Structure 1
Amino acid sequence: MNIFKKTIRLILLLMPLINIYPENVRGLIVDEAHIKTISGYEQTLEIALEEAAAIYIESNSQFLTALQLELILSATMKNYSDSFGIAVYKKVNPQPQKGLRFFTAERVFFHYLPYQNRIYINLPLLRSAINDTAATGSFTLEEPLEMEDFPLIVSMIPLMKGIPASVIDNKFYLNIKPILMKEGSLKVEITLPGHSQMSDTTEKVDEIFQLYIDGQKIIEPFFLPAIESGIHRLKISSSLFKEVNGTFTIEPAQEKVLQFELQKSQSFLNITIPRGSEIYLDGVKLSPPQINNISLSEGSHTVIIKIGDYSISKKINVVAGKNYNLSVIFDIIIEED
């Protein structure tokens, strides 16, 4: 019977730590954190006892798995660590703002501060982000938060009376940083010469060019909602336009947009002619230095070779991206009667 009574008391003591129902909360909101889902982002707030801070999530939360709160205690505060606690609230009403002192909210976390320089509180937004935090001074919520729970409130609460004024006036430093997935998104925008966007052309995109990421063909609309962070290879191949090859980097949670304007493939003509010959391309006479790597536009061209009183002409139908070699060879033909 005595064991049963002790068990009941223990349950009653633990139940107030997490409250699934709204409760009246008192604490002056003195600062706000607007957390951006950017790799390496971190924001630091200062709050004292009986003060609170609001936490907002900025921008796209698609790749956000958790928030990590790091509470740093000064040497003075650490000596009174068991005299106060830290609480985290969700679904705050009214909307939190600086100067607000009274509000209702649901408590999701509470713990007295251990005798340590710092503690960590992990607030998961995905169940996969809930991990074992047996390390001293590290805590994780057992249930993930939802975006509808934000903004959150973090409050420092005194647990006993008689705390010296010098301690009450001291500040806690609260570092907040996002924990991100190791992936981002990619959008590739490709335009053709003379077109502002691909919709301006009636041709099928796949007949004009093909896009490859890390060797894998990507189809329209050339958007990858999730791509692993790191370095990747890109290739745009086409029989009509210059091939594009390159690399790009995806940072965690980055929404990357790559833009390319394809350039028409060039065609070149190289000519080999006997010494003393004259050469004309589309009616324009060329001198010897100009007869190698002659840039040709797509379409029909006429080449005329003159040697003394003799001339020969040849039409070339140029296909973009193809190169051509023209050779004039004279031979001696011997016929036997």
Structure 2
Amino acid sequence: MKKHFVSMALFLISFSTLSAVSIRGNSTHILDKEITFGLNDLAAVNLEDSIFTEGIELIFTLPEELLQYRDSFAVTIYSGINTDVTPDKTVYTGRKSFFGVLPAVKKMFIDIPVKGKLDISSSFGTYVLKDTIPRDAFPILIKIEPVMKGIPSSLLSKVFHLRVSKILSGNGALSLNVDTGKDKQKEYSVFIDNKPVEDPENIPLLSAGFHQLMIRSDFFKEVTTRFAVKAGETTNLGIVLTPFNPTVQFDFPEGAKAYLDGNKLETLSGTVSSITPGEHLISVFIGDYKVSKKFTVNKDKLYKISLFLDIFIKEN
């Protein structure tokens, strides 16, 4: 971001009034990419909203004839306009957010913060507003008018050129898309640079550069990856979560009947079935005999369950 260094003091009054004032102009010009307007006209500037926009810079090209009339003209910025801004209107009500005398330069810059303070300093030919003009206070109206008497009538027909440039944040954004497959209700936690993310669908802006993403869950395998963020851009990152898939293999003799959590197993030998982590119950019937046992399944493990038969002989 460019920085300006103070070379001389300017006569400047910059303020924001809470009370509404009447705004009058000869005509209203609505800025597209750039506009030309005259003395006592109103130039309307809207804000193209973006999460990366820290502010806007108004860039004025001033008539050379004004250079010899120092401190004779001033620019005023109004915000919080009470009604829709249209070319056919010439009277509005709003708040006076800035007033400054035109410097004796061919180009003048006015930097307006829309959130927080701008990391820019005022200098000769450049004004930086200390107070923000919030997004909901746009559009703004700009008026240039004489503030001294004795100005030649030939100057009153001179025109000013205005264009607007965005002042962008040095940060970037991450748009994260996590695919959990059919398990839409199962929870997971997201960490960026080892810090928890409260809302993965609305991740705060990140500094430009490389970052580390980690996703943890009781239901899915942990994911760790690195991603890059560019200033003023959104990085799209898609992650597919893989469920934990513990399996169990059964080996029971023919003629037996086996039940897992009350559900009958169709085959008894060499069967590999997916099973959820947690506690389960296996029951095996052989004739009138029944054997049951509880067991705990951990994440992503293989379990082999078999029935061990033996004959016990006791001698008295």
What percent identity do the matched residue pairs reach?
Answer: 18
Could you report, residue by residue, the CA deviation over 1:238-269 in whole angstroms, capped at 9, with x for unpaired residues? Answer: 896695634131434x5655333346799xxx
Counterpart-to-counterpart distance in 1, 2:273 and 2:228:
34
135, 140, 146: which one aligns with 1:152:
140
Task: Quote the offset at 1:124 in angstroms.
Answer: 3.0
Task: Quote the offset at 1:212 in angstroms.
Answer: 4.0
Q: What do you get for the CA RMSD once the two structures are aligned?
A: 4.4
Task: Give the length in aligned residue pairs.
Answer: 248
Counterpart-to-counterpart distance in 2, 1:145 and 1:111:
16
Question: What's the secondary structure of 2:85's corresponding residue?
Answer: coil
1:249 has 2:229 as partner: yes
229, 248, 252: which one aligns with 2:208:
229
2:180 aligned partner, one-letter code? L
1:49 aligned partner, one-letter code? L
Counterpart-to-counterpart distance in 2, 1:99 and 1:182:
39
Counterpart-to-counterpart distance in 2, 1:142 and 1:218:
32
Question: What's the secondary structure of 2:86's corresponding residue?
Answer: coil
Counterpart-to-counterpart distance in 1, 2:16 and 2:153:
25
249, 261, 264: which one aligns with 2:240:
261
1:163 has 2:153 as partner: yes
1:156 aligned partner, one-letter code? I
Structure 1 counterpart of 2:35: 45
Counterpart-to-counterpart distance in 2, 1:141 and 1:219:
34
87, 103, 108: which one aligns with 2:92:
103
Q: TM-score, normalised by structure 1?
A: 0.56
Q: TM-score, normalised by structure 2?
A: 0.59
1:115 has 2:107 as partner: no
Question: What's the secondary structure of 2:117's corresponding residue?
Answer: helix
Counterpart-to-counterpart distance in 2, 1:243 and 1:143:
44
187, 197, 200: which one aligns with 1:205:
187
Mapped contact 2:29–2:35 kept (Cα < 8 A): no
Question: What's the secondary structure of 2:153's corresponding residue?
Answer: coil
Greater share of residues in helix: 1
1:183 has 2:171 as partner: yes
Counterpart-to-counterpart distance in 2, 1:232 and 1:137:
39
Pairing 1:7-22 to 2, within 5 Å after superposition? 21-22=20-21
Question: What's the secondary structure of 2:104's corresponding residue?
Answer: coil
Task: Quote the offset at 1:110 in angstroms.
Answer: 2.7
Task: Quote the offset at 1:31 in angstroms.
Answer: 1.9
Question: What's the secondary structure of 2:31's corresponding residue?
Answer: strand
Gaps of 5+ in 1: 1-12, 34-42, 267-296, 303-313, 325-337
Counterpart-to-counterpart distance in 1, 2:199 and 2:138:
36
1:23 aligned partner, one-letter code? S
Could you report, residue by residue, the CA deviation over 1:19-48 in whole angstroms, capped at 9, with x for unpaired residues? Answer: 654124223112235xxxxxxxxx433323
Cα 1:78–1:215, aligned 2, differ >3 Å: closer, same or farther?
Answer: same
Question: What's the secondary structure of 1:93's corresponding residue?
Answer: coil
Question: What's the secondary structure of 1:114's corresponding residue?
Answer: coil
Pairing 1:77-96 to 2, within 5 Å after superposition? 78=67, 83-96=72-85
125, 138, 152: which one aligns with 1:137:
125
Structure 1 counterpart of 2:262: none
Counterpart-to-counterpart distance in 1, 2:152 and 2:235:
55
Cα 1:193–1:172, aligned 2, differ >3 Å: closer, same or farther?
Answer: same
Task: Quote the offset at 1:69 in angstroms.
Answer: 1.6
Mapped contact 2:54–2:167 kept (Cα < 8 A): yes
Structure 2 counterpart of 1:58: 48
Cα 1:152–1:240, aligned 2, differ >3 Å: closer, same or farther?
Answer: closer
Could you report, residue by residue, the CA deviation over 1:123-156 in whole angstroms, capped at 9, with x for unpaired residues? Answer: 23456338652x2122233433334432210122
Counterpart-to-counterpart distance in 1, 2:238 and 2:22:
51
Cα 1:231–1:79, aligned 2, differ >3 Å: closer, same or farther?
Answer: farther
Gaps of 5+ in 2: 1-10, 252-268, 276-298, 303-316
2:239 aligned partner, one-letter code? F
Mapped contact 2:172–2:229 kept (Cα < 8 A): no
Counterpart-to-counterpart distance in 2, 1:147 and 1:17:
17
Task: Quote the offset at 1:85 in angstroms.
Answer: 2.9
Cα 1:223–1:82, aligned 2, differ >3 Å: closer, same or farther?
Answer: closer
